[in-house]
Structure 1
Amino acid sequence: MTKPPLTLFLAAPNGFCAGVDRAIKIVEMAIEKWGAPIYVRHEIVHNKFVVDGLRDKGAVFVEELEDCPDDRPVIFSAHGVAKAVPAEASRREMVYVDATCPLVSKVHIEAERHFADGLQMVMIGHAGHPETIGTMGQLPDGEVLLVETAEDVASLSPRNPDRLAYITQTTLSVDDTAGIVAALNARFPKIVGPHKEDICYATTNRQEAVKAVAPKVQALLVIGAPNSSNSRRLVEVARANGCDYSMLVQRATEIDWRAIEGVSAVGLTAGASAPQVLVDEVINAFRDRYEVTLDLVETAQENIEFKVPRVLREPA
């Protein structure tokens, strides 16, 4: 029986970004240097396949520092942590390594600089997301006001409307964030923005690639975890750009083949915390069922690399 033809449009860039790659290396190098177990506060990155792989190597994932013993090294996730977390680790004389993405750290530094200048902060982000919690935790309570939508801007009650700055979570929808920034500028004309966009290069690049693919396809799959902000935004971007059937899948086993029966063009991408092996797995699953023509749609090239902390590069 002959397989039906299908064009698989692969959006590029996709998958691991430099911050995720660095965070995973930090855990692997820590296990190599200090032996297992190594404790990791929160999932190092939001991907079950990655987390399970590191757990198999000797990483123990916990939600809070209180769940870690004093005598084993602990790593803070790529999403960043509130200042109170490393302060408590230091008080307990723990060995700790901060795997916060350098682009998230940049936002932390920005917030501190504005605070030092006497400005109150508005953070555009998702309530409850680890990155938002970590960024808001860089400053004292009340110094960071959170907005999630343009509508939220109307209900903001700042201390002084003329003394405000805004920062953003690094994994937001570029288009949605532009709308919120416009609302902030309209209501608070003197608000200070970042020197350079807070939304990271990887988030922006993956969204641009999806925008290029979405009009070409009848269905689009995003490989990523349900708790991955950047992956969920890719689904939204695809829908907003003409592909109504856009779904998040963690593995090839989650693909609803009946839902895409009869289509001739499918888009594929992966969130910044999804490894290449899962992209290959999905492509192979399509090849099992279809006569696949793979079409790469590349809108940018990435060659950024972040160094791991010096403590891991030094001998034990």
Structure 2
Amino acid sequence: MTAPVVSTLSEITLAEPRGFCAGVDRAIEIVERALQKFGAPIYVRHEIVHNTYVVNDLKQKGAIFIEELDDVPPGATLVFSAHGVSRAVQDEARARGFSIFDATCPLVTKVHVEVAKLAKEGYEFIMIGHKGHPEVEGTMGQLDSGIHLVEDVADVARVQPLQTDKLAVVTQTTLSVDDAAEIAEAVRQRFPKVREPKQQDICYATQNRQDAVKVLSPQVDIVIVVGSPTSSNSNRLRELAQKLGTESHMVDSADELQAAWFEGKSRVGLTAGASAPEVLVNQVIERIRAFGAVSVRKMNGIEETLKFPLPKGLRLDTPT
């Protein structure tokens, strides 16, 4: 059936930057290289990144996604997802003798290293993040105890650390920059001596994509975010556009776009979360063109050039 033409629709504006970040690129490449080098199947604990298209594509290539290490056969190759895992999972995987490649984003690893270092100095921690998110579970699982999770300002008033002389704050890397800043300020107000990271924990890609949406939203009538429902950073982009007063919707694929959203709209803003591939953005563009959009304009923005090295054993220069 032909999509209805929405006559007022004229232009799509693409946010810059959008889509894959260096940590996601690296994580996907780790799985693909492992498949090339060792053959299928390769086991991956949790979705390598939170994107349905990416996960399904890797499944077709021979990746098997699991949540429990009991589901991995002896001697198998195992990849940890980009979100990171707890110490207990690392120790168990090693004890079972799996061949392990860690696809944890280096910016998440930085938080893990900071937690381990300060814990040795006797620090307790307040973690700003979303309960149940695998990155939060991985970071909190670096220690047996002493990390208190806060999800909002109200939680800060309820948290009861055992001591406040040595208290540090860490943050999930994919949060809303503004929300995290508000919660961090509440932490500072309640615990004036709290130690903060030298560089903010929220990753550069999360920050850049949110900054781009802040520039994009006032220029358009509607914002479409390409991203999966499980993707924290994608959800934050949609929420941010909405907070800025621009109608916004998140779609996992072009099929989810609804013609009714574009009725009476002239300018469409389009962005993608850090785990959403550009192929999905292009499919969404084509679908919006079918609704009547005639031109595509790319917004000026930061060009990201960061690349993270692959683990030893998967680099092209590593002997087989």
Q: Following the alignment from structure 2 to structure 1, what is the Cα–Cα distance between the partners of residues 69 and 256?
A: 33
Q: Following the alignment from structure 2 to structure 1, what is the Cα–Cα distance between the partners of residues 299 and 14?
A: 6
Q: Which of 233, 241, 248 is equivalent to 1:230?
A: 233
Task: Assess if the C-alpha contact under 8 Å between 2:44 and 2:78 holds in 1.
Answer: yes
Amino acid at match of 1:199: I
- Are 1:9 and 2:13 matched, yes or no? yes
Q: Following the alignment from structure 2 to structure 1, what is the Cα–Cα distance between the partners of residues 301 and 200?
A: 19
Q: Which of 37, 44, 61 is equivalent to 1:33?
A: 37
Task: Assess if the C-alpha contact under 8 Å between 2:217 and 2:223 holds in 1.
Answer: yes
Q: Following the alignment from structure 2 to structure 1, what is the Cα–Cα distance between the partners of residues 36 and 87?
A: 27
Q: Following the alignment from structure 1 to structure 2, what is the Cα–Cα distance between the partners of residues 48 and 284?
A: 20
Amino acid at match of 1:19: G
- Are 1:140 and 2:121 matched, yes or no? no
Tell me what 1:300 maps to: 302
SS in 1 for 2:156: helix
SS in 2 for 1:310: coil
- Are 1:170 and 2:167 matched, yes or no? no
Q: Which of 252, 255, 277 is equivalent to 2:254?
A: 252
Percent identity, aligned pairs only? 52
Tell me what 2:187 maps to: 184
> Can you list the C-alpha shifts for 1:99-137, whole angstroms capped at 9, x where unaligned?
000000000011111111111011000000000000000
RMSD: 1.2
Gaps of 5+ in 1: none
- Are 1:84 and 2:88 matched, yes or no? yes
Task: Assess if the C-alpha contact under 8 Å between 2:175 and 2:206 holds in 1.
Answer: yes
Amino acid at match of 1:167: V
Tell me what 2:56 maps to: 52
- Are 1:100 and 2:83 matched, yes or no? no
SS in 1 for 2:199: coil
Task: Assess if the C-alpha contact under 8 Å between 2:9 and 2:291 holds in 1.
Answer: no
SS in 2 for 1:178: helix
Task: Assess if the C-alpha contact under 8 Å between 1:208 and 1:299 holds in 2.
Answer: no
Task: Assess if the C-alpha contact under 8 Å between 1:220 and 1:246 holds in 2.
Answer: yes
Q: TM-score, normalised by structure 2?
A: 0.96
Q: Following the alignment from structure 1 to structure 2, what is the Cα–Cα distance between the partners of residues 117 and 241?
A: 42
Once the 2 structures are TM-superposed, how far is the Cα of residue 173 of structure 1 from its aligned partner? 0.2
SS in 2 for 1:258: helix
Q: Compared with structure 1, are the counterparts of its residues 109 and 269 closer, same or farther at alpha carbon in structure 2 (3 Å cutoff)? A: same
Q: Following the alignment from structure 1 to structure 2, what is the Cα–Cα distance between the partners of residues 131 and 11?
A: 26
Tell me what 2:214 maps to: 211
Gaps of 5+ in 2: none
